[in-house]
Chains A and B, each alone.
Chain A
Amino acid sequence: MEKDPQEKLNEAIIGGESEAAKKATQEQLKAGVSPIGIIKNMGKAMNVVGKKYEDMEYFVPDLVMAAEAMNKGLKLVLPKLGTAGSVFKGRIVMGVCRGDVHDIGKNIVVAMFRGAGFYVVDLGIDISPQKFIEAINKEKSQIVGASSYISTTIDELKKLNEEMKKAGIRNRVKYLIGGRQSIQNTCKTLVLTHSPTTLSRRLGW
């Protein structure tokens, strides 16, 4: 018996199959499933992935492939949503800090936040504090996430914090940090230790 598109999409994301995820998303859209409904289901699939990672059944490569699969489907869904604030739980700007190009973890987290219903602007790699702040202001985001992997870029996480204070926006923005340096050196890694669903509850969204 043919599986329904939602089940196929779940399996594709959990299995990290990008083309299958794309196809299943197309089928759901064609069948009239609401974009927000599709995203919610993607989020559930990513939560399964997250749980498998916590249980050490999955490892980082599985997260990476699952995130890719989800993003493949999201690319079809997001244009149909628009960016109206009421559709999303919150708006996040994320990037890898200046001088660093390691983005595996950041890409996974971006996918998980999108699956959890957040509007995420992914700035990419090597992002200066000024670029982060410009994006926060432009996107009117409530959350900013920055990551640092190599030891020499840990200062950039602190600089972003200081620059946001100078720009007068630090009080209205929740600041998440991630990456190996944040784990070793500084703060709680809310993103890496909590699923986005849990995180969104903790943040009161």
Chain B
Amino acid sequence: MSKLTGKTLDVELDKLAEQFKDMVSKEPHSMVERFMTILSFQEPDRLPVLVQIHDHSARISGMTVKEICTEPKKLLYAQLFAAVKYGFDTAATFADPYNYEAEAIGAKMLFPEDSFPVILEPLIKEPSDLKKLNVPDFTKAGRGPYVIECTRLSMEKLGDLASTASVATAPWSMAVQIRGFNNLIRDTRKNPGFAHKILDFCVDVIEAWVKAQQEAIGGAPAFPALADAFSCIPPISPQLVYDYVIPHTADIMKRLGPMMWSGGFPVEQIPNWERILEDVVAKTDTMIPRITMLESDWLPPEKIKEMSNRLHKPWWFGVRAGIINKGTPKEIENHVKKLIKVLAPGGGCVVFGDQVPRDTPPENVYAFVDSVKNHGKFPISID
């Protein structure tokens, strides 16, 4: 457990907030300004430095993962610590976005000290269990209050520099959490109507969750996002994406408006992957598709750039954690530089560091940040 508690934590948190504001205010533009410029297919002064860095931020700031996942001040402290240390342009206000909804409707959780919370068992063991579940009041249920407080605290400490992302689990991934992967797959084969009912319920819950977060910040956030790692291919099949993932993701976006979405895409080179990628984006009205190649770099960034320009859809392209974690600083720089050269010109694409693991050497994180700041200045050098 961290030694930082009580008044000492308050004092140190305020110090970090001031350091972050001081650092970021020296920049000619904020992260949001740069991001919005890129989304409108124009070129800002440079790419924003965006890194998803949760358990690593806990480690370097002296917190446990359990602490950052349950205590708002400690989450913000860890995020600001990492942001100031490494020079990020923003600090997140969430840690484990895949669990909040399931927990709020009653899922039993395990909170290990140094790894993310996990759901112990499916909520819906039998079909009749679905009827027992209700859309919760997120201002009171589960860790809804914790997430809302994280955002409120960030706004209090950082003002306009606060991140108000509003992250939620997408319908398919939430259904996996509350029904269990095997059970849900079996439902899609033996009882597809019930599978859709589970997903309909998930859509209702997610809508309530995003709206609760929006109300907490006094309006719709700039970048509402849906996390959907369980919907990638081949962890599920293309047919499941078309039959279940796309319709229910489209439904939530109809209710809430276009959102960022990290789901439905192939993480391996499967037949017809281009068609699937385009359908996933087009049929859900995703505001910003987010894509990360998990284990290999088979997906040519040139293809993402071409698709982005042709569909006039901005993309968020993740530098995979394995490279940042295990590469040398030079390898990381070269990899990021290569991606920037292809994706950044003309706006429309953001390069971000995806889920930096806990044990990543700090010099590797610095290498990523420096590479984005040095090579991500517009106009992008083509050398």
Docked CA distance A104–B325 (Å): 25
Q: What B residues does A151 contact at CB under 8 A?
A: 55, 321, 355, 357-358
Q: Is the CB of A152 within 8 A of B234?
A: no
Q: What A residues does B8 contact at CB under 8 A?
A: none
Q: Is the CB of A56 within 8 A of B181?
A: no
Docked CA distance A65–B181 (Å): 11
For the complex formed, measure the closest distance between the CB of A148 and the CB atoms of chain B, giving whole angstroms. 10
Docked CA distance A116–B85 (Å): 51
Of B113-121, B252-260, B283-291, B363-371, the segment with at least 4 beta carbons within 8 Å of chain A is B113-121
Give chain A's interface secondary structure class. helix
Q: Is the CB of B110 within 8 A of A101?
A: yes
Q: What A residues does B233 contact at CB under 8 A?
A: 59
Interface: A8 (CB within 8 A): no
For the complex formed, measure the closest distance between the CB of A191 and the CB atoms of chain B, giving whole angstroms. 15
Q: Is the CB of B65 within 8 A of A62?
A: no
Q: What A residues does B358 contact at CB under 8 A?
A: 151-152
Interface: A178 (CB within 8 A): no
Q: What B residues does A180 contact at CB under 8 A?
A: 294-295
| Minimal Cβ-Cβ distance residue in B for A58 | B237
Q: What A residues does B186 contact at CB under 8 A?
A: 65, 68
Interface: A32 (CB within 8 A): no
Q: Mark A93-130, 1 if CB is under 8 A from B, else 0.
A: 00000011100100100000000000000000010000
Q: What B residues does A150 contact at CB under 8 A?
A: 115-116, 118
Docked CA distance A16–B182 (Å): 12
| Minimal Cβ-Cβ distance residue in B for A53 | B234
Residue B236 contacts which of A16, A61, A101, A153 (CB distance < 8 angstroms)?
A61
Q: Mark A138-156, 1 if CB is under 8 A from B, else 0.
A: 0000000000001111110
Q: What B residues does A64 contact at CB under 8 A?
A: 181-182, 185
Q: What B residues does A86 contact at CB under 8 A?
A: none
Further 6 A-B residue pairs, CB within 8 A, beyond A56-B234, A61-B240: A56-B271, A59-B237, A100-B115, A101-B110, A184-B322, A184-B325
10 pairs across A/B with beta carbons < 8 Å? A61-B236, A64-B181, A68-B182, A101-B110, A104-B181, A107-B182, A155-B359, A180-B294, A185-B325, A185-B326
Where the two chains meet, the residues of A that have a C-beta atom closer than 8 Å to any C-beta of B are: 16, 53, 56, 58-62, 64-65, 68, 99-101, 104, 107, 126, 150-155, 180, 183-185
Which 10 pairs of residues, A with B, have the shortest CB-CB distance?
A: A152-B115, A151-B357, A59-B237, A184-B322, A59-B234, A61-B185, A99-B115, A101-B118, A99-B112, A60-B235
